[in-house]
Structure 1
């Protein structure tokens, strides 16, 4: 146990103090052009209509961010504003999820207070508040069905609720999961705006992936068939994110430390598995470059070759768990974290080559600094230091 007179360090182990020091040091880095906010960031979304991003904070606010200037902008402000933040406020509990429907000029946020908040995108005024769940709202999905805008919410109470956005009416309540629902995705192959029904996939803490057929008048779980079991079981524990790619295959991110591609042609059997050292929190697919990008609890953003599943590069910059990813036009991926920063990374082929070279140079610099430090101390190494130096040398080969 470390001894100190600093009251902030009371009852902390040496390892805990070292970790605090490490994070404090890493927080000063400028990788990914960080935009610093005041609260942990739990979700990210974009409005295709204005090209700006929206983040959900643990402090209970939604903020609209202009990435180019690194500041939030009011919809009425056409230029940089340093003293006015575009904040959508009201909740006093953390916000976990976002959905943006430009047609209805509305942003929705799921909240720990068991409700869904909404605001006008253009005026930032609060709109209807949707109540019906008995536990935290964890995930949201919006789409158009038969010309009507519909919102689906998934909750820690293990239920899905389908809402009519225009009236606030609860259209359906769906049950089947045994634990909280953490992720929703609309099946793009089945979806057409004017079709009678859509199919959505849900996943959560019970490690199950379930399929639901939803119409305005009825909704039910898609039953198992001779080829496809129900629910789909591809992971050992919680699934935090699911996403369809351009081919209609399903990508998943799980707390079992893997991300996977489940093949539609093979009845949702695993086609690709991406191993991580910690929980995988989110996943996006860059079809243009052929990349899969994952967010991990170990603070890293990883870039994988979609075709081979080979790890190509690791973006380092965050100093706490990465909670969300957003793919933007121009092969840009944006990451958010409970370290309260927003960071941007280029997936352009040449930019990735440069990023790899920069990471290698940084590693070599650390090795040289370690060697100089050893020379100053007379060259004596502890067993732990020898192992650390050997690891650095091996990584640089």
Structure 2
């Protein structure tokens, strides 16, 4: 094995090693999820050298400089105030979802008007309209980190794969017997997973357009799914009150069925190092599960109504939940204790996400506003208002300095 070069990953903090073995170029990452401005660099490098043979004595100074750059990034003050940069009359019917590509240079919007549109973030110009679906375009995704392909899942029971550069349709995936409501690319961008109201999930080969596997076992609609960061496991959440963990690398065998919720599942997600899964449910709780054993580690209670969305921050240190009661809750992923309760919205919160730095939370609500919150104190820092109807979707770009919000009023707002 020969180390070729280092690549830096800011969110979550890490160093990517590009190395050659057997004539092939490969990568592996050193995750620095616990890095902070106070971290002792000498001690950290000593730990890295013990576990990573590619880091030889001659490479220590390079690694030291990279860690210093990561620490500087973590130390930067994050007091950015957003303003409405542009209102886009994006579609002729309400929006369903908004998603950035990895760099944040472009984003996509899905709509009830049966199209998905590709936009340039800097100029706010429409690059492509992806047409061909015969019903609502509900689920949309870029194949991040590459960002050269887009997947759209529709109520017409099909999923389409498109070129992000040209807008050309590569494949139409057919096989589901009901609406497709969730989808995700694996990190390697070789597979696409789709979840449907027909109670199944399917895996598709990106290159050939062929179906790879059908994941059966749920007795209710699959409403949420997510790959882990390695790409060897997929988690699915269903209206049957259960979560399933699938081993994608071995022919999609079901590894665990996570049982414990008393209501429909609304959202499921892995943490960065793939060790835990969180699930939100209509039973008003969020549960934390250990991936390896399938054991429920904690039940995070607090909301007085259905939990509609859940998420980890990029390092997996915090968990946030959004509820139909108009509140959001932040918990420590280590102690499972509530860190902050976010109050201020006048209606249910449908989407919640952390900024890449993990210091801010963004919530989208039916009260026509999005709000920005401080993670530690729970203080509302900003109300992003201007939409004339419910906000269905909201997202940060990679740097955390641009926000997009998508609304039932047919518009998309860009905040900078």
Deviations 1:127-156 (A, max 9, x none): 2111222221111111235xx611111222
Question: Cα distance 1:270–1:289, how it changes in 2: closer, same or farther (>3 A)?
Answer: closer
1:304 to partner: Cα distance:
1.4
Question: Cα distance 1:70–1:218, how it changes in 2: closer, same or farther (>3 A)?
Answer: closer
Aligned residues: 295
1:93 maps to what in 2? 135
1:319 to partner: Cα distance:
0.9
**Contact persistence 1:60–1:94 (CA under 8 A):** yes
The two structures have a TM-score, normalised by structure 2, of 0.61
2:13 maps to what in 1? none
2:123 maps to what in 1? 69
1:51 maps to what in 2? 105
What is the distance in 2 between the residues matched to 1:311 and 1:332? 18
The alignment partner of 2:367 has SS state of: coil
- 1:170 pairs, out of 191, 196, 211, with 211
- 2:359 pairs, out of 290, 313, 323, with 290
- 1:154 pairs, out of 190, 195, 220, with 195
1:165 to partner: Cα distance:
1.8
2:230 maps to what in 1? 192
The alignment partner of 2:248 has SS state of: strand
* Gaps in structure 2 of 5+ consecutive residues: 1-82, 259-289
What is the distance in 2 between the residues matched to 1:94 and 1:231? 37
2:80 maps to what in 1? none
The two structures have a TM-score, normalised by structure 1, of 0.64
The alignment partner of 1:139 has SS state of: strand
1:322 to partner: Cα distance:
0.5
1:262 to partner: Cα distance:
5.6
* Gaps in structure 1 of 5+ consecutive residues: 1-29, 74-85, 347-397
1:243 maps to what in 2? 311
- 2:252 pairs, out of 218, 221, 224, with 218
Query: Which range moved further: 330-339 or 158-167?
Result: 158-167
Is 1:108 matched up with 2:146?
no
The alignment partner of 2:169 has SS state of: coil
What is the distance in 1 between the residues matched to 2:304 and 2:227? 23
1:176 to partner: Cα distance:
5.3
1:111 to partner: Cα distance:
0.1
1:204 to partner: Cα distance:
5.4
Is 1:336 matched up with 2:385?
no
Deviations 1:90-125 (A, max 9, x none): 112110011212658321101011110122222222
Query: Which range moved further: 292-301 or 210-219?
Result: 210-219
Higher helix residue share: 1
**Contact persistence 2:395–2:405 (CA under 8 A):** yes
Q: Residues 204-283 of structure 1: matches in 2 within 5 Å?
A: 205=239, 211-223=245-257, 228-229=295-296, 240-248=308-316, 249-261=318-330, 263-266=332-335, 272-275=340-343, 276-283=345-352
1:42 to partner: Cα distance:
0.8
1:256 to partner: Cα distance:
5.0
The alignment partner of 1:183 has SS state of: strand
1:32 to partner: Cα distance:
5.0
Is 1:305 matched up with 2:339?
no
1:344 to partner: Cα distance:
2.2
**Contact persistence 1:296–1:323 (CA under 8 A):** yes
1:134 maps to what in 2? 177
**Contact persistence 1:207–1:239 (CA under 8 A):** no
2:86 maps to what in 1? 33
Q: Residues 367-386 of structure 1: matches in 2 within 5 Å?
A: none
Deviations 1:287-330 (A, max 9, x none): 43711001011111011111133333321111111011121125
The alignment partner of 1:144 has SS state of: coil
Question: Cα distance 1:218–1:174, how it changes in 2: closer, same or farther (>3 A)?
Answer: closer
The structure whose Rg is larger is 1
1:39 to partner: Cα distance:
2.6
1:381 maps to what in 2? none
Question: Cα distance 1:296–1:213, how it changes in 2: closer, same or farther (>3 A)?
Answer: farther
What is the distance in 2 between the residues matched to 1:340 and 1:246? 30
Q: What is the alpha-carbon root mean square deviation over aligned residues?
A: 3.3
What is the distance in 1 between the residues matched to 2:323 and 2:238? 9
**Contact persistence 1:207–1:236 (CA under 8 A):** no
